[in-house]
């Protein structure tokens, strides 16, 4: 895939994929039908990210709170992810995409963890685009697990207590599940909802936010490019005066 000539391209674009259920309902179908169509939008956004030169694309695929959905829907969604990952692995690798899953993986079934491990190992050396799937993830879970890791490190290394307590924001970043990944420049949420729903609470501190009415299954390459055009016009000041 060739890269387009563009200016002010965000390094990291993140998507809160919302509206699958409503998309299906509008068509008189079961909610899961929207999730199946949503996989097509995932594919379209991955292609568009490669074409536009975005380096990191992350997708909020399943939150910690989503475990509270009806069991049948959760089961279908998990099965859909196993299939999508297995089906797309070759294509992702061919296009230089590094695949990662971030979240509370202890809650995932073995078959899903196995395919995630296989896909991550297979694509680990790729750098054209890093595709991150946030699965069983929530911002508060991430901050809490980071704080716990820090506390354990202090208990195990009391002689380093001062060094740990002196740590700044960048030091804390290293305990987060997203360590090593740049913060998202742009977070897009589909389906007209204007909230973050416990997503990247720490990492999104200075992200540009874009809320679009399009339902996720309709969010394809044109919408992705429009989101980049919106971003290109933003004036990011990070609390400073220019």
Can residue 97 be called a binding residue for ligand FPP (CB under 6 A)? no
Give CA–CA dist 227/189, Å, rounded: 10
Q: Do 107 and 74 contact (CB within 8 A), yes or no?
A: no
Residue closer to ligand FPP (CB basis): 10 or 19: 19
Residue closer to ligand FPP (CB basis): 61 or 227: 61
Q: Do 236 and 208 contact (CB within 8 A), yes or no?
A: yes
Give CA–CA dist 86/81, Å, rounded: 8
Can residue 49 be called a binding residue for ligand FPP (CB under 6 A)? no
Which ranges in the chain belong to alpha helices (H)? 20-26, 31-52, 71-94, 110-123, 139-156, 161-165, 169-173, 221-232
Instruction: Please pick, from the candidates 45, 50, 57, 85, the single residue that binds ligand FPP as defined by CB under 6 A.
Output: 85
Instruction: Please pick, from the candidates 13, 14, 15, 19, the single residue that binds ligand FPP as defined by CB under 6 A.
Output: 19
Task: Say whether 114 is catalytic.
Answer: no
| Residue of 44, 7, 18 lying closest to 211 (CA atoms) | 18
Can residue 153 be called a binding residue for ligand FPP (CB under 6 A)? no
Can residue 66 be called a binding residue for ligand FPP (CB under 6 A)? yes
Can residue 136 be called a binding residue for ligand FPP (CB under 6 A)? no
Out of 20, 66, 142, 173, the active site residue is 66
H or E stretch covering 130: strand 129-137
User: Which among 81-89, 110-118, 149-157, 196-204 is the span making contact with ligand FPP, rule CB under 6 A?
Assistant: 81-89
Give CA–CA dist 208/204, Å, rounded: 8
User: Which among 35-43, 104-112, 147-155, 173-181 is the span making contact with ligand FPP, rule CB under 6 A?
Assistant: 35-43
C-beta atoms surrounding 21 within 10 Å: 20
Can residue 13 be called a binding residue for ligand FPP (CB under 6 A)? no
Instruction: Please pick, from the candidates 78, 80, 154, 164, the single residue that binds ligand FPP as defined by CB under 6 A.
Output: 80
Can residue 113 be called a binding residue for ligand FPP (CB under 6 A)? no
């Amino acid at each position: 895939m060739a890269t387009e000539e563009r200016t002010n391209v965000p390094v990291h674009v993140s998507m809160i994929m919302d509206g699958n259920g409503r998309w299906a309902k509008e068509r008189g179908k079961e909610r899961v039908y929207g999730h199946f169509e949503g996989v097509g939008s995932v594919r379209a956004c991955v292609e568009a990210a490669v074409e536009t030169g975005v380096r990191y694309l992350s997708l909020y695929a399943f939150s910690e709170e989503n475990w509270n959905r009806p069991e049948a829907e959760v089961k279908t969604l998990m099965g859909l992810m196993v299939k999508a990952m297995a089906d797309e692995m070759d294509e992702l690798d061919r296009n230089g995409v590094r695949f990662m899953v971030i979240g509370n993986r202890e809650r995932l079934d073995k078959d899903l963890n196995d395919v995630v491990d296989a896909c991550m190992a297979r694509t680990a050396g790729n750098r054209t685009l890093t595709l991150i799937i946030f699965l069983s993830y929530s911002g508060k879970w991430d901050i809490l697990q980071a704080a716990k890791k820090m506390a354990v490190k202090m208990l195990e290394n009391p002689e380093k207590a001062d060094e740990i307590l002196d740590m700044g924001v960048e030091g804390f970043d290293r305990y987060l599940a997203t360590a090593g990944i740049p913060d998202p420049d742009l977070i897009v949420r589909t389906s007209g909802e204007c909230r973050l729903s416990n997503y990247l609470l720490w990492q999104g501190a200075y992200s540009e936010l874009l809320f679009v009415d399009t339902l996720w299954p309709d969010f394809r390459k044109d919408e992705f490019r429009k989101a980049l055009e919106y971003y290109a016009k933003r004036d990011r000041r990070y609390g400073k005066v220019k």
